Structure 1
Amino acid sequence: MEAFFEENRDSYIKQVAAFKPSSSQDASAGSESGGDTSIGARIRPLLPKELEDHEVSGVCARSEEGYADVHELRRKVNGQPALNSSSFRLDKVYGPGQTSEDVYHDLVAPLVPWAWSGGISTLFAYGQTGSGKTHSVSELEKLAAAELMNGKLEGDRDIYICAFELVGKEAFDLLNDRRKIVVMEDAFGESQLVGAIEEKPATAEELLSHIKRSMSFRKTAATVKNDSSSRSHAVCRIRIVNKDVADAPDGLFFLVDLAGSEADRDVKEHSKDRMKETRDINMSLSTLKDCIRGRAMWNMTDGVATNKRAMNVHVPFRSSVLTKVLKHVFDVKGDRYCKTAILACVKPNAADAGPSKNTLRYAELLRVPAPKTKPAPYNVNIPSTWSHKALTEWIEKNSGIPAISHALLAPSETGTQLCKLPKGEFVARCLKTSDISPEHARAFYDKLWRLHVDSRSARSAASEPAPAMLPGDATATKSDVPFQERLRPGMVVRIKPGFGGYTKYYMILSPDGAFEKEAAKREEVMAKKIYICAPVVDAVMADAYNLVMEMPKQVALDAMEAEVFMEWDSPTRYWFMTI
């Protein structure tokens, strides 16, 4: 085949230059993936050694249209050479002239602030051995580390990093001399890396040094075209702890360098063990494809159970160790949304047109085009049906007293977009409204999410007329009666700083002196405006409280700052703040 190509090199170059895409491709150029998943491909330039060997480029990028074209030279029955062209539609296509900075700002940059605010971001890099995948990942890691550590992102965070590789069904810690670790699920269904260590870098240089050190332990093997082809999936997990918002979930940023795929000429030299290794890699990549597509389909349906397409989505994340580790990314039953970017790295050489087609075909299969469906009719019980106007009205009526500014919380978002917002970012936006406490902001977040979770059940999905206000919602008008004149048993109050010590909240049980037998004595004691109260203290569960009846305390009226609304949750046996 190489001799045939050399004989017809000039004809091949002319036919590639004369190639024109079909008009149907131009018509569909605007159709991009839906949800929070972006698929991109990067075609590297020919290397100096390849230019010296007079190799020809056979993969072309049409960046504006979002297409990558692969051209192969085929021998016809009559022996004449013919051009066989295949076009692949992706969200982003980067040609040899585009830099790593272009790829980062266009494809990867949106992932960093999302993880910083408490969300889950994932970058997958995939490609044939020798396609420049490791180089691209290294450059993108440098840019991401600089953005995370340069201090320009809003808020105070702690950064932790761990790195590990997955070989078959085994996992190894790349920051601890490649010691074996175990992937297990805890009692809450979360995937844990038992035995893995985390490092806490203080600068971008330290973060990159940890990544570089971890990659030196990664398993590699020689191929015909590459002396050190990656034979494992390498995962770098950056955990971002929010120090500004208590109990906010940690942001997670996964950088996944997938094992390199191989051409037929590499497979011919494989041993029995190497063939098994290749088979395991292919199976994990197939499972990964199903998980990415399944999660993207779920995101586009917004998780509303009445949508039959959403109800039938199956994400097989337990089928391989790779996807089990990334359960946070794929589990549709979780309450956190993930932004995902996939970068397919492609060799431009005409001699590698076959493997390049396989890489681009795999990337194209990951795309889930946004369905052309009518928006769901408005339902006050289903946040995913709220327009921006409906959302602002709901915030005004249901955000408590004082009301949270809808302009600061949701300047342009719809109901679906606000539900996808990470808890840390949601609370931070609420706190920009004056006189809003962190407890108030977290209670409002919980209120929205209770409504969102309930809307996933078939019972609440039936369309119904929108009432003026949901049952149990706070009144839109503020009471003119101060809470000091409405004190009653069972009311929870917040204590002024300096009066309650470590305890901020108390539940009123009775006025002090209410059980005095003599009327005169009772009136004298009650006139002091002192109340017997039970402390309300933090529970083990986030944003939950325990009522400590066995430790009553006297609290004067002057020490009370404001009324606080709490409700009892029977399943958890805790008190939760509400508004």
Structure 2
Amino acid sequence: MAERVLSRPQKASSGKRPSTLDKIQAMEKQRAERRQQMEERKMEMREEEKRNAELGVIGDADFVRMIGEWREQQPCSQPHVAFDCDAGGRAKGKELCICARKRPMGKREVAANDHDAVSCQNPVVVVHDCRHRVDGITKYLANTKFVFDHAFSEAVATDDVYACVCEPLVDFVARKRGRATVFAYGQTGSGKTYTMCGIQRRAARDTFDFVGDDATIVVGVSFFEIYGGRCQDLLRDRARLQVREDGKGEVNVVDLGEDVVSNSEELLDAIDRGNRLRTTQRTRANDASSRSHAVCQIVLRRGPAVVGKLSLVDLAGSERGADTRSHSRQLRTESAEINKSLLALKECIRSLATNDSHVPFRASKLTMVLRDSFVRPHCRVAMIATVSPSVSATDHTINTLRYADRVKEKPAPASSAAAAPPQKNNENTAPPPVLNASPCHQGAAATPRAADPPRRSLEAARRSLDSRQGGRRGNKDASKPPSPRPSPRADSPSFDDISSSLDPIPGWPPAETRARRERDDRGVADPVALVADRAARGPLLVDEVRPEDPDGPPPESVMELHRTVDSLFEEEEALLNAHMNMIQENAELLTEEGRMLQQVQGEDEYDIDAYVARLDAILDTKANQIDSLRTRLRNFSQKLKEEENQSKSLRRMPLY
């Protein structure tokens, strides 16, 4: 009994609960272990960053490692195949070649400690959006995938790009007497002008090689720019040009000079002269940003007839409104004009690729002057979208690739994320896929897009459509009770499944889409109408049901800004012309006044009454001129104030 009594206290002591002091000591021990692990992790990151720096790789070590691991798991790039200009017709989309080119990292990006966040594995381009989870610590990649005809990495030289895309077009123009257009699009500083200058040099050399000894062919070159809605001849000291359409529907650039060249050296000299006169401005994104669309046309003639034409277009650098908000009024209006013309070009190419009955060429001067290269039965078009590799430019890069993707509108392949092997840790794993991922990104449905606002639900879309239909029907249906809202179910289909069944909804497509189709059947008479319709559908993603974005400008504000910018350019032109005319007329009146004074002072006999009457008439003429010029000046000042107020009211400009 004594042994059992003594054993009970020992059993009670072995099951003793830990005291508060024990808990505090355990917490301190765990905290010390976590701090030690964090210090070890920081040391490892510093060592990894040092090793990366020795290899020329900069940026966040975790993201660099995650991107490197992702690239190691991908298959090898497919070989590039030259653009087949003889394949298919417009209905098959073979007349359009869309390419993406990634440039190397620049000194400014290296100094800013940016790292490479774009992967090009032909024909796929993947943008790695480096993000943090809601805890602010865990890192993951949001990969956005695009598929094009060609994807050129930074290791591909301009000669290879030319041989793959542009050399077949030069051969098509020189030997097969066709029309071809090559244009470069992208953000400022992404390599558009660098790429296009290399293409121009090689095209000038190959044009004469392909023409050969045909003495009946005469080669001519013209070079002009479209700046602020105005055309200027770069081979004639920026002489002002007019773009007009004749009764046959042909678009003519009035007074455009064309230099006849006999060899490739003369052709290169003319192209270099035009490039030196291009309009450039310093922007936040680039020190020397091209602010005009430069169009270099190499024309082959047999007598007066044009038998071939190659148009090489270096588009102006695209920028978001956030990058130009702090700029001067001139840069803001330039950006608005650039975005409008880029939108018009995209819509025209999309209409051609889908074989639409109407193509809105009149929406901008850029599309008007390129109309001849698009509508001819024997024409080809190639687009080179240039992107920056830095992680700080991922938004710009995605917008550029979206633009090119919308132009091509290729069918989305199977998602690559579904076939990817599982990750060993959570650092490289994205959150669960979003059901409403944009269909315009090939494979993007499996990657999150936290920057995109959530889409409206199907019920919100139905209510919005019903409200618009109710406004059109009037009071006739006002007494009808609303349809009962279905109760949510756990096994409800995803948004992608629901979106495919939107056709039976009464009143679909929306009124904006029907209005656009009706207007396209009639033709676009107002250049702002295309921008208004595009703005009403939201920037970039034209096929999505978008939410009401409180942070973005309402469509009416965007329309009003574009109208103000258009009228601003017109008022500026009228003011400058009126001022020049007044100076010329004043010079003539000044000469006449000098003769009158000489007669009055030098002659003994003079008619003072005639002198007074004529001087009074001259003063009246000057007063009328000054009043007219002052009126134009007031109107122009009012337009400037309107533009500045509208620019301040918009939180961001849509990027097209």
Alignment TM-score, normalising by the size of structure 2: 0.49
Contact 1:35 1:370 in 2 (8 A): no
2:219 equivalent in structure 1: 159
Separation in 2 of the partners of 1:21 and 1:88?
Answer: 19
Contact 2:165 2:382 in 1 (8 A): yes
Separation in 2 of the partners of 1:160 and 1:52?
Answer: 45
Separation in 2 of the partners of 1:8 and 1:123?
Answer: 35
Letter in 2 for 1:68: V
1:486 equivalent in structure 2: none
1:124 equivalent in structure 2: 183
Which residues in structure 2 correspond to 1:459-538 (within 5 Å)? Answer: none
1:81 equivalent in structure 2: 139
1:314 equivalent in structure 2: 358
- Of 352, 358, 361 in structure 1, the residue corresponding to residue 393 of structure 2 is 352
- Cα gap change, 1:8 to 1:344, in 2 (>3 Å): closer
Displacement, 1:153?
4.3
Contact 1:111 1:339 in 2 (8 A): yes
Contact 1:191 1:325 in 2 (8 A): yes
Displacement, 1:276?
1.9
1:241 equivalent in structure 2: 301
1:330 equivalent in structure 2: 374
Which residues in structure 2 correspond to 1:280-299 (within 5 Å)? Answer: 280-298=337-355
Separation in 2 of the partners of 1:124 and 1:269?
Answer: 29
Letter in 2 for 1:41: A
1:14 equivalent in structure 2: 65
2:158 equivalent in structure 1: 100
- Cα gap change, 1:358 to 1:199, in 2 (>3 Å): same
Q: Confirm or deny that 1:147 pairs with 2:188.
A: no
Displacement, 1:268?
3.1
Q: SS of the counterpart of 2:354?
A: helix
The percentage of counterpart residues that share the same residue type is 35
Separation in 1 of the partners of 2:200 and 2:306?
Answer: 23
2:459 equivalent in structure 1: none
Q: SS of the counterpart of 2:70?
A: coil
Contact 1:112 1:253 in 2 (8 A): yes
Separation in 1 of the partners of 2:340 and 2:97?
Answer: 23
Task: Show CA shifts across 1:367-407 (max 9, x none).
Answer: 14489xxxxxxxxxxxxxxxxxxxxxxxxxxxxxxxxxxxx
2:316 equivalent in structure 1: 259
- Cα gap change, 1:49 to 1:8, in 2 (>3 Å): closer
- Cα gap change, 1:77 to 1:49, in 2 (>3 Å): closer
2:553 equivalent in structure 1: none
Contact 1:317 1:330 in 2 (8 A): no
1:213 equivalent in structure 2: 273
Task: Show CA shifts across 1:167-189 (max 9, x none).
Answer: 23211111111111101112322
Separation in 2 of the partners of 1:348 and 1:9?
Answer: 15
Separation in 1 of the partners of 2:354 and 2:411?
Answer: 9
Question: More deviation in 50-59 or 337-346?
Answer: 50-59
Separation in 1 of the partners of 2:316 and 2:382?
Answer: 17
Q: SS of the counterpart of 1:226?
A: coil
Q: SS of the counterpart of 1:93?
A: strand
Displacement, 1:166?
0.6
2:94 equivalent in structure 1: 35
Q: SS of the counterpart of 1:148?
A: helix
Q: Confirm or deny that 1:176 pairs with 2:250.
A: no
Contact 1:150 1:204 in 2 (8 A): no
Contact 2:59 2:113 in 1 (8 A): no
Letter in 1 for 2:231: A
Contact 2:102 2:153 in 1 (8 A): yes
Separation in 2 of the partners of 1:280 and 1:196?
Answer: 22
Contact 1:113 1:153 in 2 (8 A): no
1:441 equivalent in structure 2: none
Separation in 1 of the partners of 2:111 and 2:72?
Answer: 30
1:452 equivalent in structure 2: none
Separation in 2 of the partners of 1:23 and 1:96?
Answer: 17
Separation in 2 of the partners of 1:106 and 1:368?
Answer: 21
Displacement, 1:81?
2.0
Displacement, 1:355?
0.6
- Cα gap change, 1:144 to 1:21, in 2 (>3 Å): same
Name the structure where strand makes up a greater proportion of residues: 1
Separation in 2 of the partners of 1:344 and 1:200?
Answer: 31
Separation in 2 of the partners of 1:93 and 1:189?
Answer: 37
Separation in 2 of the partners of 1:154 and 1:358?
Answer: 46
Separation in 1 of the partners of 2:410 and 2:387?
Answer: 22
Separation in 1 of the partners of 2:244 and 2:302?
Answer: 25
Contact 1:344 1:360 in 2 (8 A): yes
2:647 equivalent in structure 1: none
Contact 2:222 2:256 in 1 (8 A): yes
Separation in 1 of the partners of 2:109 and 2:371?
Answer: 41
Letter in 2 for 1:19: W
- Cα gap change, 1:118 to 1:370, in 2 (>3 Å): farther
- Of 175, 184, 187 in structure 1, the residue corresponding to residue 247 of structure 2 is 187
Displacement, 1:315?
0.7
Unpaired runs of 5+ in structure 1?
Answer: 1-5, 299-311, 372-579
Contact 1:185 1:191 in 2 (8 A): yes
1:483 equivalent in structure 2: none
Displacement, 1:48?
4.7
- Cα gap change, 1:358 to 1:21, in 2 (>3 Å): farther
Letter in 2 for 1:252: K
Alignment TM-score, normalising by the size of structure 1: 0.55
Task: Show CA shifts across 1:44-101 (max 9, x none).
Answer: 11135544654311111011xx111111211211112221111111110100111011
Q: Confirm or deny that 1:222 pairs with 2:282.
A: yes
Question: More deviation in 54-63 or 263-272?
Answer: 263-272
RMSD: 3.0
Contact 1:118 1:242 in 2 (8 A): no
1:275 equivalent in structure 2: 332
Letter in 2 for 1:346: V
Letter in 2 for 1:94: F
Contact 1:146 1:204 in 2 (8 A): yes
Letter in 1 for 2:191: G
2:590 equivalent in structure 1: none
Contact 1:100 1:136 in 2 (8 A): yes
Separation in 2 of the partners of 1:358 and 1:203?
Answer: 40
Separation in 2 of the partners of 1:205 and 1:140?
Answer: 15
Letter in 2 for 1:103: V
Contact 1:166 1:321 in 2 (8 A): yes
Displacement, 1:320?
0.7
- Of 405, 409, 417 in structure 2, the residue corresponding to residue 364 of structure 1 is 405
Task: Show CA shifts across 1:485-524 (max 9, x none).
Answer: xxxxxxxxxxxxxxxxxxxxxxxxxxxxxxxxxxxxxxxx
Separation in 2 of the partners of 1:60 and 1:120?
Answer: 33
Displacement, 1:120?
0.6
Separation in 2 of the partners of 1:206 and 1:360?
Answer: 36
1:202 equivalent in structure 2: 262
Contact 1:172 1:178 in 2 (8 A): yes
Displacement, 1:151?
5.7
Contact 2:117 2:128 in 1 (8 A): yes
Separation in 2 of the partners of 1:266 and 1:212?
Answer: 30
Letter in 2 for 1:78: D
Name the structure where helix makes up a greater proportion of residues: 2
Count residues with an aligned counterpart: 343
- Cα gap change, 1:19 to 1:263, in 2 (>3 Å): farther
Displacement, 1:19?
2.1
